[in-house]
Amino acid sequence: VIDERAAFRPHRSYRRPASLARAGWWTSLALTPVVQAAAVLTRGTFARFLTRGAGALVPGGGARFGHDLYLGVRLVPITVNGPSLTRQTLVLWISACAGGLFVLIRRRRLPAPLRFIGVANLGLVGATACYLLFMGRLGYDPAAFSALYVRTSLTIWLIVPVFMGMVALTLPFTVLERIGLVLFCLAYEGAFATVRYAVFVWVLGEVGSVVMPSMYLFFGPLLDFVTFTGIYAVLLARLARRMALTEGAWRWL
């Protein structure tokens, strides 16, 4: 009976991966601190790439750089000077956000998740404008925000190996694939964070600090982790295809 059962592909409810070599899992686990150490060692290079790269990408060029010290790295965040926001400008922002919110809530043509995202961001911008109107200033000015962004990106760079390393351990990848996933996420983070930094600097220079909370809380670290999920999903789909075509990829419970 057992031999006959082995001839069938295990039903999805009663199967688990057969190809996983325990040594591969433990090797991957042991290599995670090594990759982590590499990320720590290259943190200065990453920070320089981020700031200098973004500086070169900012439209108009001529970016000026400040100084900051974080986690033992001398950072050079781009100095940003946004336009000053008068009371009239802030009232205009509040009115525009209220109008946008009204339209999004009343007109339900957009799919609900997109409406919720729109409402959240308009709410963030509107709340920030109100805060500026009544309190006079935010906790971060554009220059401090620029430094915060670089610090945030550097921190993400340092935690990617642990987070994605642990995530990669949940799948029957090979050791190389697991390390590849982490390294690809790191490389992507380098490029993505740099381009986004340039965009943020440009937007801040054009519209001022009223959009900073939306940038940071919605288009900041959240988006980094979404892209990591995307990279994970692409590799997962590839793994699924490979396992579907591989004889003996599965074992019974």
Nearest distance from C-beta of residue 204 to another protein, angstroms: 14
Nearest distance from C-beta of residue 195 to another protein, angstroms: 18
Nearest distance from C-beta of residue 134 to another protein, angstroms: 11
Tell me the residue type at 229.
Answer: T
* Whole-number Cα distances in Å, 105 to 89, 96, 117, 229, 238: 24, 14, 12, 30, 40
Tally: H helices and E strands in the chain: 9, 4
CA distance 232 to 178: 10
Nearest distance from C-beta of residue 46 to another protein, angstroms: 15
- Nearer residue to another protein within complex by CB, 45 or 227: 227
Nearest distance from C-beta of residue 240 to another protein, angstroms: 5
CA distance 152 to 218: 14
146 alpha-carbon distance from chain centroid = 17
Nearest distance from C-beta of residue 227 to another protein, angstroms: 8
CA distance 119 to 114: 8
CA distance 246 to 55: 48
Crossing angle (nearest 10°) for helices 175-207 and 22-41: 30
Nearest distance from C-beta of residue 71 to another protein, angstroms: 10
Contact assessment for residue 158 and residue 189, using Cβ atoms and an 8 Å cutoff: no
- Nearer residue to another protein within complex by CB, 56 or 71: 71
Among candidates 150, 101, 157, 153, which has minimal Cα distance to 125? 101
Tell me the residue type at 219.
Answer: F
- CA dihedral sign, ordered 42, 47, 57, 231: positive
Max Cα separation, the chain? 82
- Nearer residue to another protein within complex by CB, 57 or 138: 138
- Nearer residue to another protein within complex by CB, 58 or 97: 97
- Nearer residue to another protein within complex by CB, 84 or 170: 170
Which residues would be at the binding site for another protein (CB under 8 A)? 11-17, 20, 25, 111-114, 116-117, 119-120, 124, 127-128, 131, 135, 138-140, 144, 148, 151-152, 155-156, 159, 163, 166-167, 169-172, 212-213, 216-217, 220-222, 224-230, 232-234, 236-237, 239-241, 243-244, 253
- Nearer residue to another protein within complex by CB, 52 or 141: 141
- Nearer residue to another protein within complex by CB, 19 or 89: 19
